[in-house]
Structure 1
Amino acid sequence: MTEMEDTTVTFKNLTSREYPGHKKKVHSVAWNCTGTKLASGSVDQTARVWHIEPHGHGKVKDIELKGHTDSVDQLCWDPKHADLIATASGDKTVRLWDARSGKCAQLAELSGENINITYKPDGTHIAVGNRDDELTILDVRKFKPIHKRKFNYEVNEIAWSTTSEIFFLTTGNGTVEVLAYPSLRPVDTLMAHTAGCYCIAIDPLGRYFAVGSADSLVSLWDISEMLCVRTFTKLESPVRTISFNNTGEYLASASEDLFIDISNVQTGRTVHQIPCRAAMNSVEWNPKSNLLAYAGDDKNKYQTDEGVFRIFGFKNSA
């Protein structure tokens, strides 16, 4: 048996669990830095924090983060603090929450409907993107904007490199704009795809970044050379969301296709596909283990409007 076949068999023995709770569909899922809690953001204007037991089968504890007056489109955890989480909403605010109490600790009023948010790896800054293609950098300590920039092209997902020296913008032009940080000076424009680039993920080992596009392809880039080294071609619809696992060995990608593709980063080959019932909005690997959280437009098992997310990677006890 080859190593590839052995990996596939390992994934095939795993199963997904469903986590209901939101009243409407879930737009975003994210793990905290210790991999013990998962947050979900929903169209129902709330976020929820779930304490996930990797092998437990009991009732899962969750806490509701309530205060936004529009959809919670994206959220991210403080990379250095396991109980601080930031949420971006269409209500033009960004909020920082304490996941232990469920209380909002900080609030920043920005100028547009916020759709993207990401933490700097050292936890000192938060970058926020809105529907008007404006980027805002917040100082976390004061929770005030320290930099704003409006772009004259469509800006989609944003990310820092693991060293924080590079800041990436994915654009509707099919490019990835590479900026120096903190100056935000343009360094390079990568002609990445033939259609808009929707999402970006950074390899936790700092070797690569991956870009998902409306052309249904995922490209893998060497971060030191800024060269494309591989393309993943399994999806047939625009790629909405991608994530590297904690070892950088696997890349999960999802779209409107009714499966999530898990591929080996080095070979480009698919090692497993997770069937889905609807288009996916968010996939994210746990930072410590091979648990993959995913959420989309699907309803719960009773097909009512309650929003759900699922986690793949549990041993099948059947």
Structure 2
Amino acid sequence: MYTEKIEEFQRYFKSHSEYKVYPGHSSKVHSVGWSCDGRRLASGSFDKSVCIHVLQKDTISKEIVFKGHGGSVDQLCWHQTNPNLLSTASGDKTVRIWDTRQSKSVAVIPTKGENINITWAPNGETIAVGNKEDLVTFIDTKTNKIKTEEQYAFEVNEISWNNTSDLFFLTNGQGCIHILSYPDLELQHILNAHPGTCICIEFDPTGKYFATGSADALVSLWDINELACKKVFTRMDWPVRTISFSHDGQLLASASEDLIIDIGFTETGDKIADISVDAATFTVAWHPSQYLLAYACDDKDTYDRKRDAGTLKVWGFPSDS
């Protein structure tokens, strides 16, 4: 049923397997993400800065560097319908909201701990941020004030809303996914997803699936309506740190400390392509309308192996460009 589509993708990426490297930071890049219109690519780094790049055809150029955080920028996420707004979570115990039309942050929200995970509800109304002490803070984006805080008794890893913003998902250190109603945050289900720590979670743009990556080196694909596991991707050998669905939900990229980024066909798990890397990969993000994958690894400087390269990369350009 899917054989032709799989072969078509495999052929496409044979001729679109070029990657380009973009310097942006003086230290390792923790997080990358595209704006909803696909024009901008943001990266957040251990060097406390956020870098915005602009995509034009097959070239990407640096537009602006946002400074202000007093600690590492551990995760970033864009507003899902406003291409100018970006939020960042930092170890400096703040969340910042940035507008690409301005040179400084438009809001600074103090929080109780060192923040490591951030997610913006698809309806744009709320930002949730998780910290190292497993406290999840919900911020009202109209007032930029904290609405509520929830302290959990287990290790909270990545957090996310579903595409309709009425369910909130937590991945935890026991390999479970906690599904809560939103906004009342009542527990609806606990899925025993993995034997190892559940590290990352991602929703497919079409609303059919979500996927989780785990310390057991597996990626599991879940039917969002049935809450049933449909597929397990098994090509990694190391804990899966980061995953991303393509804009049409047909491809799933996953990365770890393995020296490849795996691109699989969502419905069957078949391998479409892989990207060779030289170091552990922290973050991957598909473009919102093209088959371009942004990613960042723990690369070292070519001339000084003690220094981080601070680069981000984009793969999927035509191989003859």
Normalising by structure 1, report the TM-score.
Answer: 0.97
Contact map agreement 1:263 1:270 (CA 8 A) in 2 = yes
1:139 CA displacement: 0.3
Q: Which residue number in structure 2 is paired with residue 306 of structure 1?
A: 309
Q: 1:139 to 1:3 in 2, by over 3 A?
A: closer
The residue type paired with residue 33 of structure 2 is A
Task: Please state whether the residue corresponding to 2:312 is helix, strand or coil.
Answer: strand
Q: Which residue number in structure 2 is paired with residue 71 of structure 1?
A: 72
Contact map agreement 1:300 1:308 (CA 8 A) in 2 = no
Q: Which residue number in structure 2 is paired with residue 256 of structure 1?
A: 257
The residue type paired with residue 140 of structure 1 is T
Q: Which residue number in structure 1 is paired with residue 46 of structure 2?
A: 43
Q: How does 1:83-122 map to 2 (within 5 A)?
A: 83-122=84-123
1:108-143 CA-to-partner distances (Å, cap 9, x unmatched) read: 000000000010001111010000000001001111
Measured in 1, the distance between the counterparts of 2:62 and 2:45 equals 18
Q: Which residue number in structure 1 is paired with residue 320 of structure 2?
A: 317
1:100 CA displacement: 2.2
Does the alignment pair 1:210 with 2:225?
no
1:227 CA displacement: 0.6
Unpaired runs of 5+ residues, structure 1, are none
Q: Which residue number in structure 1 is paired with residue 15 of structure 2?
A: 13
Task: Please state whether the residue corresponding to 1:142 is helix, strand or coil.
Answer: coil
Q: Which residue number in structure 1 is paired with residue 186 of structure 2?
A: 185
Contact map agreement 1:112 1:132 (CA 8 A) in 2 = yes
Does the alignment pair 1:32 with 2:30?
no
Contact map agreement 1:39 1:49 (CA 8 A) in 2 = yes
Contact map agreement 1:63 1:102 (CA 8 A) in 2 = yes
Measured in 1, the distance between the counterparts of 2:6 and 2:96 equals 43
Task: Please state whether the residue corresponding to 2:41 is helix, strand or coil.
Answer: strand
Contact map agreement 1:176 1:191 (CA 8 A) in 2 = yes
Contact map agreement 1:125 1:140 (CA 8 A) in 2 = yes
Kindly report structure 1 stretches of 4+ aligned residues shifted beyond 3 Å.
300-304
Q: 1:87 to 1:134 in 2, by over 3 A?
A: same
Measured in 2, the distance between the counterparts of 1:284 and 1:300 equals 23
Q: How does 1:125-274 map to 2 (within 5 A)?
A: 125-274=126-275
Task: Please state whether the residue corresponding to 1:10 is helix, strand or coil.
Answer: helix
1:2 CA displacement: 4.5
Task: Please state whether the residue corresponding to 1:60 is helix, strand or coil.
Answer: strand
Measured in 2, the distance between the counterparts of 1:6 and 1:189 equals 38
Measured in 2, the distance between the counterparts of 1:174 and 1:213 equals 7
Contact map agreement 1:299 1:308 (CA 8 A) in 2 = no
Contact map agreement 1:21 1:306 (CA 8 A) in 2 = no
Unpaired runs of 5+ residues, structure 2, are none
The residue type paired with residue 26 of structure 1 is V
Task: Please state whether the residue corresponding to 2:24 is helix, strand or coil.
Answer: strand
1:120-168 CA-to-partner distances (Å, cap 9, x unmatched) read: 0011110100000000010011111101000000000001000111110
The residue type paired with residue 64 of structure 2 is I
Q: Which residue number in structure 2 is paired with residue 22 of structure 1?
A: 25
1:61 CA displacement: 3.0
1:300 CA displacement: 4.7
Contact map agreement 2:54 2:61 (CA 8 A) in 1 = yes
How many residue pairs get matched? 316
Task: Please state whether the residue corresponding to 1:80 is helix, strand or coil.
Answer: coil
More off after superposition, 39-48 vs 2-11: 2-11
Contact map agreement 1:20 1:300 (CA 8 A) in 2 = no
Q: Which residue number in structure 2 is paired with residue 291 of structure 1?
A: 292
Task: Please state whether the residue corresponding to 1:52 is helix, strand or coil.
Answer: strand
Measured in 2, the distance between the counterparts of 1:21 and 1:189 equals 40
1:95 CA displacement: 0.4
Measured in 2, the distance between the counterparts of 1:3 and 1:205 equals 18
